[in-house]
Amino acid sequence: MTAIISFRTELLTEGNPDFTYPWDHPKYIFMAEHPFQFHLAPFSWRIINPLIASILPFSLQFNFFIISFCSVAVTGLLIYLLLKSTGSDIIVSSIGVLIFYSTVWATKWPLYDFWLTDGMVMMFMTAMIVQIIKNKETGFLILLSIGVLLKESALLALPLHYTLHARRIFDSRALRRTFLLSIPAIAILATVRISIPAQNNDPLYVASLGKSLRIEYPDHSVPGKAIIRDEITMLPSGVHYSYIAMAKKIGWNRLVHLKLVDVQIMTVRTFGVATLVLALFGCIAKKELILRYMPFILLVYFQLAFSVNTERVLIIALPAIIILAATGIKFLLERKYIDYRIVLLIFSLIILLNLKNTSPTPYMYGMEWFIVCSTIIAVVTIREFYLRRRTQ
């Protein structure tokens, strides 16, 4: 599946016209070429991905691609193991894998912009949840400690360790275990941030970087003048990089200007219509799961206060949402509301629709609505037809 998707996705290679844009990829390329010598936060602290790319024996472009390719492929396997560890059978677990591959932000996007850490972050997040469910604390600790060097969002898995093991809302023993497991990861993250200081607030350093590593935006207060800003935070280069500054600039602006289309982007355009419908059934079928997984999902959404990206930061909640969706599938199958072949058909059609377009993020959610609604109407109609024939 990963190979098929990569063949049907226009990759951000050096020959792609979009490659020249000063997005995130030039930062990671620079970090691979000059390990530990980049000082624009938060990129400079995400050292694992470019470090591995600098060590592999092939070209830098192929090194980054193979890392992302393997990450997506391994995540597909981990999704299967994740659902098996929650008690799902082979059929439901296989459907979960199809759900994963039908979600473009988890598959097509990391393969398109393979220079980024997105693929590995998803792989680590899924692996950590597997370790939590299986109660493998050593494995979870190791993955978490490495994961924070990929991206700081790896720490968001910590609440799941508590909520999945707590026997009541406040469980001091589970809280203590979670806290102890967090110490190595937090210590590693702090060490990296001290060892590689951010120089976002140093105009001379930012100005010394090539144009591929920064963007100049016009300062409308002074005609004809340009002001150098950090691409991620959109803060002036003289402003100190901090979560408070980002929340004021990004989070508040996002909240004030929130529109219906933004809500669509944060939900169906990120995770897909069918997946969210099934996840809703899962919450209805097993309300306990809301308390178990919702704190993690809410924290994932809280990232929007500090990030200009939307789908890319929210997609790491997908493993938890797939668990909810699998619970919804089991609920519908047990009550014979739907046949498993119908669910297989829905997600197979969605995957085919995504493959039809070589864009990394084909917005097919309108067609998804059509597929879901048409399937439900067809199933209900057929069931009613056979019930009437039986009664006659």
The reply to whether 207 and 227 lie within a common domain is yes
The reply to whether 213 and 184 lie within a common domain is no
The reply to whether 245 and 235 lie within a common domain is no
Q: What pLDDT score does 240 carry?
A: 57
**pLDDT grade for 298, boundaries at 50, 70 and 90:** very high
The reply to whether 116 and 212 lie within a common domain is no
Judge whether residue 111 has pLDDT over 90.
yes
Angle formed by the axes of helices 137-150 and 172-195, to 10°? 30
Q: What pLDDT score does 164 carry?
A: 95
**pLDDT grade for 286, boundaries at 50, 70 and 90:** very high
Q: Which residue among 180, 215, 240 closes a domain?
A: 240
For residues 207-217, one letter each, b for 16 or more C-beta atoms within 10 angstroms of the residue's C-beta and e for the rest, the string is eebeebbbeee
The reply to whether 253 and 285 lie within a common domain is yes
pLDDT above 70 covers what percent of the chain?
92
The reply to whether 206 and 146 lie within a common domain is no
Average pLDDT on 80-88 reads: 96
The reply to whether 93 and 203 lie within a common domain is no
* Cα separation, 280 vs 44, whole angstroms: 38
Could you give the number of structural domains in the chain?
Answer: 2
pLDDT above 90 covers what percent of the chain?
68
For 220, the domain range is 199-240
The reply to whether 111 and 228 lie within a common domain is no
Residue that wins the pLDDT comparison between 230 and 53: 53
Q: Which of 136-150, 153-167, 209-223, 225-239 has the lowest mean pLDDT?
A: 225-239
Average pLDDT on 275-298 reads: 94
| Chain segment 125-179, per-residue pLDDT in tens | 999 999 999 999 999 999 999 999 999 999 999 999 999 999 998 999 999 999 9
Q: Which of 129-138, 204-213, 223-232, 236-245 has the lowest mean pLDDT?
A: 223-232
Judge whether residue 280 has pLDDT over 50.
yes
User: Could you tell me the CA-to-CA distances from 7 to 111, 120, 145, 322, 361 in Å, in that order?
Assistant: 10, 20, 34, 25, 15
The reply to whether 164 and 311 lie within a common domain is yes
Q: Read off the pTM.
A: 0.90
The reply to whether 145 and 126 lie within a common domain is yes
The reply to whether 315 and 215 lie within a common domain is no
Q: Which residue among 211, 240, 269 closes a domain?
A: 240
**pLDDT grade for 232, boundaries at 50, 70 and 90:** very low
The reply to whether 264 and 274 lie within a common domain is yes
On whether the CB atoms of residues 214 and 48 are closer than 8 A, the answer is no
